[in-house]
């Protein structure tokens, strides 16, 4: 099928490339001319495993084109994906200006029969609004709007798109379903379920999924606080809980909490949608508070361990909001960096992918090329992101290089026994601390 994609951020770029891989002819468009030029020169604007190869393969087949004029993506398309950003307003509501602008472009350039698919995460009722906008701008145009939320994770985006757990299509008209069944035919043929709902249900199901993942993480973090206060071990508790098929082990890792562009924003958006609709979703406010508290609790461990921060050197291992990405948006590591720098500490960070991005966000941050360089002379080492290489750290070397042998493990990646044998004062989250001879605090 002929597919247009508006917006080549994480979702749009991966969606476009994946649909080309499934055999469709894709024109991906963005108003950001520099980004389109970059893509046309064979470069990807962000890091995502397997994406460079996928884009190279599909541009070579001629099935994936990059353009900067809306007419070029909309004009010939049978299905048009809206993948534009959906930021939040200062009050925390979803900002849908970019989505409405696409509606106007569609009205201007669409061929009759076009199916418009919302991929951006949007509040319930957006498909109706979009339909109305297009009908007002171009009365008489035949078109359908479907909600087709995206569930890809950064760092796994290509696999999540080519082998999703489920595909969701929400629409209030049969023509929309028909086109989407055809489009996703190759995936449905592999046994991937395609769930059909009305548009509002599909829109809300995406926000619900992200808010529920956030709830699981905050539950684990709140439990971690109780475990610390009662001498239990949250890692083992969540292992026990996760072995129950009804609960499952995913998203129960206690630590510095959830960051990134989606979980914090979507949890807040769902809470605001509920409030505006007349329901007090206090549970989600608690989820957000526990998440803030998770970072504050790790900061308190550092402050307690080193005493005054002024002039102390703090090494942050991991700056991205999670491993496998160079994204530092709402990264807990950067919240810590800001706080420690404001308290007068010298903050040095390491990250295999996100050092430059972190530096741009926090100019005072020093960045090191390898973790041991960051650790050298540090009064406290804080593990902020679960990059596999930190799990393998040579802890004897950490002890030798650090000014004080203190490690605060914000992601519980180290083996406490190994840390103790190396002589570290080891302060994990939600599990018993191991205090070496250098007992501070
Ligand atoms: C999230 C969802 O997982 C995707 O399904 C969704 O499509 C995407 O948002 C989106 O809406 O675009 P992503 O933001 O890439 O994906 O990140 P996650 O893998 O969900 O991780 C979010 C945060 O939770 C990270 O900071 C991670 O470190 C943290 N986390 C995750 C925990 O603290 N504990 C856990 O057990 C799991």
Indicate the pairing of strand 366-367 with strand 425-427: unpaired
Q: Which residues contact 328 (CB under 8 A, 6 or more apart)?
A: 319, 320, 321, 334, 354, 357, 358, 361
Domain termination site, one of 197, 221, 250: 197
Q: How confident is the model at residue 93 (pLDDT cuts 50, 70, 90)?
A: confident
Say how many C-beta atoms besides its own lie within 10 A of residue 245's C-beta. 6
Half-sphere exposure for 329 (CA within 13 Å, toward CB): 10
Q: What is the mean pLDDT of residues 305-323?
A: 97
Residue with tokens 């510095």: 256
What is the structure's pLDDT at 399? 97
Is 26 a pocket residue for ligand 1 (Cβ < 6 Å)? no
- The CA 263 to ligand 1 mean position distance, Å, reads 6
> Residue 433 above 50 pLDDT?
yes
What is the structure's pLDDT at 437? 65
Residue 152 Cα: closest atom of ligand 1: 7
Half-sphere exposure for 277 (CA within 13 Å, toward CB): 12
> Residue 415 above 80 pLDDT?
yes
Residues 288 and 304 in one domain: yes
Number of domains in the chain: 2
CATH, residue 73: 3.40.50.720
Is 253 a pocket residue for ligand 1 (Cβ < 6 Å)? yes
DSSP state, residue 435:
-
Residue with tokens 């009205």: 107
Q: What is the mean pLDDT of residues 351-358?
A: 96
Could you list the residue range(s) of the whole structural domain that residue 223 is in? 198-441
> Residue 201 above 70 pLDDT?
yes
- The CA 207 to ligand 1 mean position distance, Å, reads 13
Q: How confident is the model at residue 436 (pLDDT cuts 50, 70, 90)?
A: confident
Instruction: Determine contact, residues 161/18, Cβ cutoff 8 Å.
Output: yes
- The CA 280 to ligand 1 mean position distance, Å, reads 25
> Residue 439 above 60 pLDDT?
no
Q: What is the mean pLDDT of residues 110-129?
A: 95
- Catalytically active residues are 262
Residues 138 and 205 in one domain: no
Is 126 a pocket residue for ligand 1 (Cβ < 6 Å)? no
For ligand 1, atom 22: residue with the closest CA: 258
Q: How confident is the model at residue 441 (pLDDT cuts 50, 70, 90)?
A: very low
Is 217 a pocket residue for ligand 1 (Cβ < 6 Å)? yes
Is 213 a pocket residue for ligand 1 (Cβ < 6 Å)? yes
Residues 119 and 193 in one domain: yes
Residue 157 Cα: closest atom of ligand 1: 15
Domain termination site, one of 134, 169, 197: 197
Q: How confident is the model at residue 86 (pLDDT cuts 50, 70, 90)?
A: confident
What is the structure's pLDDT at 13? 97
Domain termination site, one of 146, 163, 197: 197
- The CA 257 to ligand 1 mean position distance, Å, reads 10
Q: What is the mean pLDDT of residues 169-188?
A: 95
What is the structure's pLDDT at 87? 87
Is 48 a pocket residue for ligand 1 (Cβ < 6 Å)? no
Q: pLDDT tens-digit profile of 330-342?
A: 999 999 999 999 9
């Amino acid at each position: 099928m002929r597919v247009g994609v508006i917006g080549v951020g994480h979702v749009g770029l991966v969606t476009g490339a994946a649909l080309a891989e499934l055999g469709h002819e894709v024109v991906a468009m963005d108003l950001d001319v520099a980004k389109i030029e970059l893509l046309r020169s064979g470069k990807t604007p962000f890091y995502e495993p397997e994406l460079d190869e996928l884009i190279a393969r599909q541009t070579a087949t001629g099935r994936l084109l990059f353009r900067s004029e809306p007419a070029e993506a909309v004009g010939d398309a049978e299905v048009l994906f809206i993948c534009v950003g959906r930021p939040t307003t200062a009050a925390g509501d979803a900002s849908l200006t970019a989505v409405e602008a696409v509606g106007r472009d569609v009205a201007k350039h669409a061929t009759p029969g076009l199916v418009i698919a919302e991929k951006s995460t949007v509040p319930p009722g957006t498909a109706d609004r979009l339909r109305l906008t297009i009908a007002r701008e171009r009365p008489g145009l035949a078109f359908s709007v479907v909600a087709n939320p995206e569930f890809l994770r950064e760092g796994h985006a290509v696999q999540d798109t080519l082998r999703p757990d489920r595909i969701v299509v929400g629409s209030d008209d049969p023509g929309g379903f028909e086109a989407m069944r055809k489009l996703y035919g190759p995936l449905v043929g592999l046994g991937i379920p395609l769930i059909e709902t009305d548009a509002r249900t599909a829109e809300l199901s995406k926000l619900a999924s992200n808010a529920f993942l956030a709830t699981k993480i905050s539950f684990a973090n709140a439990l971690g606080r109780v475990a610390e206060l009662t001498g239990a071990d949250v890692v083992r508790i969540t292992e026990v809980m996760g072995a129950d098929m009804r609960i499952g082990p995913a998203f129960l890792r206690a630590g510095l909490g959830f960051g990134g562009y989606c979980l914090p924003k979507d949890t807040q958006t769902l809470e605001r949608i509920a409030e505006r609709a007349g329901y007090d979703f206090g549970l989600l406010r608690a989820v957000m508070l526990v998440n803030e508290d998770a970072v504050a609790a790790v900061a308190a461990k550092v402050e307690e361990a080193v005493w005054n921060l002024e002039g102390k050197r703090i090494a942050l291992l991991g700056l991205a909001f999670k491993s496998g990405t160079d994204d530092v948006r709402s990264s807990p590591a950067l919240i810590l960096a800001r706080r420690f720098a404001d308290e007068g500490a010298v903050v040095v960070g390491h990250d295999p992918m996100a050092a430059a991005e972190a530096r741009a966000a926090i100019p005072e941050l020093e960045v090191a090329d390898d973790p041991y360089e960051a650790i050298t002379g540090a009064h406290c080492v804080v593990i902020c992101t679960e990059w596999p290489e930190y799990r393998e750290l040579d802890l004897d070397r950490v002890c030798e290089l650090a000014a004080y042998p203190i490690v605060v493990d914000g992601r519980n990646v180290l083996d406490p026994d190994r840390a103790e044998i190396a002589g570290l004062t080891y302060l994990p989250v939600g599990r018993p601390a191991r205090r070496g001879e250098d007992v501070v605090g």
